[in-house]
Structure 1
Amino acid sequence: MPYAEQRGTKWRVRWNTGKKHPDTGKWLYDSQGGFDDRDAAIAYGLDRESDIRNDRYISRRDGEVLMSEYCRTWQQTLDVGHLRRRNIASYIKLYIEPRWGELAVADIRPSAYRAWELWLKDQPNIGDRYRREILLVFSMMMDDAVNDGMRQASPVPKQRRRGKYTKQKRERKRPMLMGDVHQLATNAMTFWGFPGYVYVLTMAFTGMRPAEAYALRREYCYPNWPAADPRIDPDEEVRYEEDMERYAGEQPLPAIRVEWQHQREDGQLKLFPPKYESRRTLVVPPFLAELLEMLLASHDFEYVFPSINGGELAHANFTYHYWRPIADGRKASVPRQKGGGRGGSWRPLPEIPAVPGWAGKRQYLLRHGHKEWLDEDGHSRIAVESRMGHELAGVEGLYANVTPTMERSIVDSLQARWLGFVGRLPAAWEPESPTPLPVDLSEWMKVQVKMGAGLLQ
């Protein structure tokens, strides 16, 4: 039962919160003043006791925790990867704490949240996807504040339909043409060398994520894998044996194993599992298997695709220093003369033509285009999604399984796509290379063209 006491001309009411102090064991009380008479004070106290009995009560000391403090403690509860943790810390530091840090957790109102949401939308430096991530993190914080007893409800509306409809903008894409892919590959050879040629074709014909390609190690690449698999996980012994039978048995299927991706943690480049733990095996068509074998024979670096300087590709700003010249083209550079000042280049290159439809586009679209090819060729959904590193939800994913027949069908369709293109290549297709090619690519391509021409007849 609450009790009231007069303070000057006003009344104050106190009530038992039903909680005890963790150290002293004494009951904790809340109070509220400013009532004109005793009856109004008692009625307010009775309402609070009703809230306590029905688990709706938020104590003043809990609700008065500042958002600046909650931002720090909340991040300590997260069980996420290091990249996600870093991004969340950035959202909080740049946008959430500056706006809400001085307010108590319980004092954030839905109207203030809506105003902030519109403010974020109006900022020219905040894209739609980035804004959604900021709002998602804030919504998670408010949901947890409710669970922690700091609020009765989140100020973030759920499934709200308010305001004018705005269609989500989607990146405009064009179908990935085999001619464009090969032009990208030849541009990569002109700019980067033989590893660049194989890299672009590998991206287009496997659908790997860029960070997975950067971290592709020799032991996980054809022709070394699966025999060279380090077998570091004792729980995967059955999988290792099945891989030997499936990909190196009587009817071997050339394949590469996606086991790692490169990411930075605390400034250090490290190997991490692929996104969503999507370790998987990717069968490759025969032409690509031959190129990968030739590439591995041409160097002894631990990774399949060395950088221009022979180091780890992930150390380079690939988008700016590699991909933009490959996709957008570049003017020819002239050799630098000793003693001739800063003009010219120590690594002169011929002119590289821009690839139609790829100027300004990101290399990740090679992965998108790979899925387009698989869909065009009518492969099963489970085979396509598994190859892309995705999981099918529900009963379809539970009952489905990728069989060797499905994988061989993928190999055959990708090989046919390649041969159907090279069978029409002109005689003088070879681009220049900044360094001598480690293989006779011209003779190898003549064989491919002959096979393609025979297929077209």
Structure 2
Amino acid sequence: MSGFLTEKAADKYWQDMESDVRNNRYVDPKAGMILFEEYANLWYASLDLEPTTMTNYRYYLEHHILPFFSGRSLAAIAQSREEIDGWERDLMRVDGYAARTARDARVTLATCLGAAIPHRIQFNPAVKEKARGRRGLRRVEQIRAQQKTKDVLTPLEVVLFGERVAALTGQDDDLVRELLYAFSAVRWGEALALGPRYLTEDGRLNIEEKLYELSGHFYRGIPKDGSIRKIDLPPLLLGLLAELKPRRCTCKKRLPRPGDPAWCQGGEYLFLGPYNGHPRRSNFGRAAIRPAADGWFPEEGGKNPRPRMPVMVDLSQGWPGVPVVPWPAVEDGLPWVPPRLAERSRGRKTLPADTPLAVWLPFRKIEEESKGTKVSTHLLRHTASTWNAEDRIPDIMRDERMGHRSADEGRAQAEMRDHYTHATELMRADVVQTLQQRLETALMQRAELERLWAEEGIPRRSTVPLMNKLLEPFRAATLTSVSTPLIPRLGGRRSLRRASGRASNAG
């Protein structure tokens, strides 16, 4: 018995199989019987990606994917879309992982199964269907996503944010780097990779490498998606970069092994930490970015746990103040205990009893349950692109500065635009002029804020030396009005108690 009821049915099946073979759609039933763990090992070994990407894939495979799908054939997994949906939900609800972790694990699974099409399986069950789920929830997610893209900083907020970061780290270089993120749209690792030869012959920022962090070490590689480019900068920012003195990092020489990336063996860089090490994104975020954005030091666990505490500063020398030893905020229902201002702590100087202390307010508030703000280094990159759109900068120039290619979007019209449109010197001059105006206006507004703060008794100077120097030519200018929610709270111990209480309620 052939298994077909009629000769016509058999003929149709034969024609379909022949068409699948001719169009490279034929799937051998035996090819899908391979165990998933065997196929995952074959797939992973065939990849040639950045070491950081390879490490992420390996983590999700070993910790989230293989423990659940091992022992089953590839063909069996290809028929279980609903099971994959449940697995992703259980990672959050049962195992307690964050939604981002569960989503990235599913994306890794989808990437792995996608490589098996069409020779082992016919379709990818891990790819989410766009029209699934409750319509109301999808609409809410879309609205929130749209609102998120609109939440960018003004030039004044970028200046104030960078000033806070520099006040926390004690390095003028960090102020320059935060300004660079917003006024050039470079990525985190691209800025860290800048060395002595960071400018081209025509005075543009030369982005050729990116610094990657992997397993506690750093290596140099090409920028994301190969986005090597040259970026025009406003003259004021170029002058700040020219004043930076490159320093040699503390990376030690390592014996290269087969397959190792180009480890940093010690070189000169524009942006290093206080002890000449490369800033680590997670550590720098906890020590500087989050406190500067939120006005709070985040909670820390581990061997030396520390509760979430507001950023306290001494305003006797100017704004944004000199950070002092953190002290826990007032908790509801508990008596307030003042900080030990008359005692030494961790080598810091003794503070007089009449020291004018204040706490920083957060830049932007979002949902109460998030306990934070949307301000981050990556947001400055979104800010840079949005500013260019507001200034009517041509798309070809925006893509060039961001390191994007419209062809990646699969839009034929955009591909044609990039083919026939070219960046001209006039376009570059417009970018430089608009960014220079934004930076100068922000510094003028920052100088005008000092007039308001002087009424509260704050000296008219910045505690960040570089900012103090930048504001000198703008202090003589006058603006009619400047509005900001970032005016500090002043006072000694009694005012500190009120400020700490407000800060605890603002979290």
Same fold flag (TM > 0.5): yes
8 Å CA contact 2:244–2:270 kept in 1: the answer is yes
In structure 1, how many angstroms separate the alpha carbons of the residues matched to 2:84 and 2:393?
A: 46
Query: For residue 419 of structure 2, what is the amino acid of its counterpart?
Result: L
1:179 counterpart residue number: 156
1:145 is aligned with what amino acid?
A
From 211, 215, 224, the counterpart of 1:275: 224
Match of 1:82 among 51, 56, 65: 51
Contact 1:333 1:351 in 2 (8 A): no
Deviations 1:180-224 (A, max 9, x none): 11211221232222112222222221111111112211211xxxx
- How far off its partner does 1:102 sit? 1.1
Compared with structure 1, are the counterparts of its residues 296 and 123 closer, same or farther at alpha carbon in structure 2 (3 Å cutoff)? same
TM-superposition CA deviations, 1:378-427 (whole Å, max 9, x none): 11111112111111221112222222221111111111112223334235
- The 1:72/1:202 distance shift into structure 2, 3 A limit, reads same
- Provide, for residues 84-124 of structure 1, a one-character-per-residue CA deviation record: whole Å limited to 9, x for no partner: 222222222223212221112222353x3212213313543
Equivalent-residue separation in structure 2 for 1:157 and 1:184 (angstroms): 39
Q: Distance in 1 between matches of 2:282 and 2:109?
A: 34
1:285 to partner: Cα distance: 1.2
> 1:315 Cα deviation (Å)?
7.7
SS of match in other structure, 1:219 = coil
- For 2:287, give the aligned amino acid: H
1:188/1:391 CA distance change after superposition, 3 Å: same
Counterpart position of 1:383? 397
1:119-198 matches, cutoff 5 A: 119-124=87-92, 125-127=96-98, 129-148=100-119, 150-151=120-121, 153-155=123-125, 161-165=131-135, 166-167=138-139, 168=141, 169-170=144-145, 172=148, 174-192=151-169, 193-198=171-176
- Equivalent pair of 1:174/1:357 in contact (CA under 8 Å): no
Query: Is the counterpart of residue 67 in structure 1 residue 36 in structure 2?
Result: yes
Pair 103,279 (structure 1): closer, same or farther in 2 beyond 3 Å: same
Is the Cα contact below 8 Å between 2:33 and 2:74 reproduced in 1? yes
TM-aligned CA distance change 1:355 to 1:58, over 3 Å = same
SS in 1 for 2:399: helix
CA contact (8 A) 1:195 1:305 kept: yes
Structure 2 match to 1:395:
416
Which of 76, 83, 89 pairs up with 1:115? 83
User: In the TM superposition, what is the alpha-carbon distance from 1:161 to its structure 2 partner?
Assistant: 3.6
Amino acid at match of 1:432: T
In the TM superposition, what is the alpha-carbon distance from 1:155 to its structure 2 partner? 4.3
Gaps of 5+ in 2: 250-267, 296-310, 313-322, 327-342, 352-356, 366-371, 408-414, 452-458, 482-507
Query: Cα RMSD between the aligned structures?
Result: 3.6
| 1:423 aligned residue | 444
8 Å Cα contact 2:152-2:380 kept in structure 1: no
Using a 3 Å threshold, how does the CA distance of structure 1 residues 158 and 316 change in structure 2: closer, same or farther? closer
Which aligned pairs between 1:315-326 and structure 2 lie closer than 5 A? 317-326=283-292
SS of 2:244's equivalent in the other structure is: helix
Shift of 1:262: 1.2
Deviations 1:35-74 (A, max 9, x none): xxxx58899xx98x969877557355x4432112111112
Q: Identify the residue that residue 445 of structure 1 maps to in structure 2.
A: 471
Contact 2:234 2:433 in 1 (8 A): yes
Aligned to 1:250: none
SS at match of 2:194: coil
CA contact (8 A) 1:58 1:152 kept: no
Q: Which of 162, 178, 196 is 1:200 aligned to?
A: 178
Matches of residues 222-233 of structure 1 in structure 2 within 5 Å? 225-226=199-200
Q: Is the 8 A contact 2:107 2:126 kept in 1?
A: no
Q: Which residue of 2 aligns with 1:287?
A: 236
Q: Counterpart amino acid of 1:121?
A: R
**355-364 or 273-282, larger mean C-alpha shift:** 355-364
CA contact (8 A) 1:328 1:354 kept: yes
Q: Cα gap change, 1:266/1:320 in structure 2, threshold over 3 Å: closer, same or farther?
A: closer
Output the amino acid matched with 2:324.
S
Separation in 2 of the partners of 1:204 and 1:157? 34
1:306 is aligned to 272
Q: Which runs of 5+ in 1 are unaligned?
A: 1-38, 227-243, 248-253, 336-341
* Number of aligned positions between the proteins: 371
SS at the partner of 2:274?
coil
**Alignment-derived partner of residue 104 in structure 1:** 73
* Alignment-derived partner of residue 26 in structure 1: none
Change in 2 beyond 3 A, CA 1:372/1:157: closer
Q: Is the 8 A contact 2:184 2:231 kept in 1?
A: yes
TM-score normalized with structure 2 length: 0.64
Could you say what secondary structure the match of 2:272 adopts? Answer: coil
Partner amino acid, structure 2, of 1:319: G
Q: Which amino acid counterpart does residue 35 of structure 2 have in structure 1?
A: L
Q: Is the 8 A contact 1:184 1:355 kept in 2?
A: no
- Asked whether the equivalents of residues 444 and 471 of structure 2 are also in contact (C-alpha less than 8 Å), the reply is no
Does structure 1 conserve the Cα–Cα contact (< 8 Å) formed by 2:213 and 2:280? no
The amino acid of 2:426's aligned partner reads T
Match of 2:384 among 355, 361, 370: 370
Distance 1:352 1:284 in 2: 34
Structure 1 residues 355-392: Cα deviation after superposition (integer angstroms, max 9, x where no partner):
42175332211111111111111111111121111112
**1:213 aligned residue:** 191
2:501 is aligned to: none
Partner of 2:486: none
Partner of 2:346: 345
Structure 1 residue 351 displacement after superposition: 5.8
Question: Structure 1, residues 335-371: CA drift from partner, whole Å, max 9, x if none?
Answer: 9xxxxxx962336698662342175332211111111
Structure 1 residue 130: deviation in Å? 4.3
